[in-house]
Amino acid sequence: MNVLRSLRPPDLFTILNIALGFAAILLICESQSTDMVKAAVVLIILAAVADGLDGFVARKTGSGPLGSNLDSLADLVSFGAAPAFLAVQAFRLPMNIWPAAIFFLICGALRLARFNVSSKSDQLFEGLPIPAAGMALSASVLLGRPDLSIPMMVVLALLMISSIPYPKIRDVRVLSILGLLVIAAVWAVFFQSNAIYTAIVLGALIIMYLLSPVVISRLQKGK
């Protein structure tokens, strides 16, 4: 198989996702200042945007033979390795805390592997999607609270490998609103001296998504 000839338009966004995720890791390695940490978070956010565009384009044009596997590899880099490494490096976490970051990465890999081999639902994900977990962990780092980020790594990891159903967001109007909020978050990182604004925006979105299984369950019981 000629790899380059097998690429389809959605795969280009997936490749962009990988590039942004790895660039975030490189920035984290140079994180001698809060500006570098904030820039790394922005790259992870942009990787999530590329991941969303990948899925959107795939639904419009169809995916190629590399699609799902390439997407999982990209997600593991951008939303598994990069956020876990960000938390460790930003807080200079001691070695006895590293297992929490390793556990987060392993659960992310298991979540993606299960997704690739299980039957797909048009409405729901099984377990918390790794992009949501990665963005949640990255947002927590902006708060500068290792006592928050460390337990979050464990909780998010467990949610990824759980069987809790999370909704797939496909509505164009909802996606447009989310896009505007992401732009607001990126703007806050670059132009606000206090990154708390970005953490609040991302945190609010993520909390709503984390609570969505509860809402779904309530609606189903009300039928």
Q: Which of 22, 158, 44, 29 is nearest to 103 (CA)?
A: 158
**C-alpha to C-alpha distance for 105 and 90, rounded to whole angstroms:** 17
The pLDDT value recorded for residue 208 is 72
Model confidence pLDDT, tens digit, residues 115-125: 888 877 777 88
What is the model's pTM?
0.84
Model confidence pLDDT, tens digit, residues 55-110: 888 888 877 788 788 999 999 999 999 999 999 999 999 999 999 999 999 999 99
Look up tokens 């609270």; give the residue: 145
Q: In degrees to the nearest 10, what's the CA dihedral of 165, 170, 171, 177?
A: 90
Domains along the chain with CATH numbers = 3-222 (1.20.120.1760)
For residue 134, give the H/E element and its range: helix 130-142
**C-alpha to C-alpha distance for 195 and 19, rounded to whole angstroms:** 24
Is the pLDDT reported for residue 220 higher than 60? no
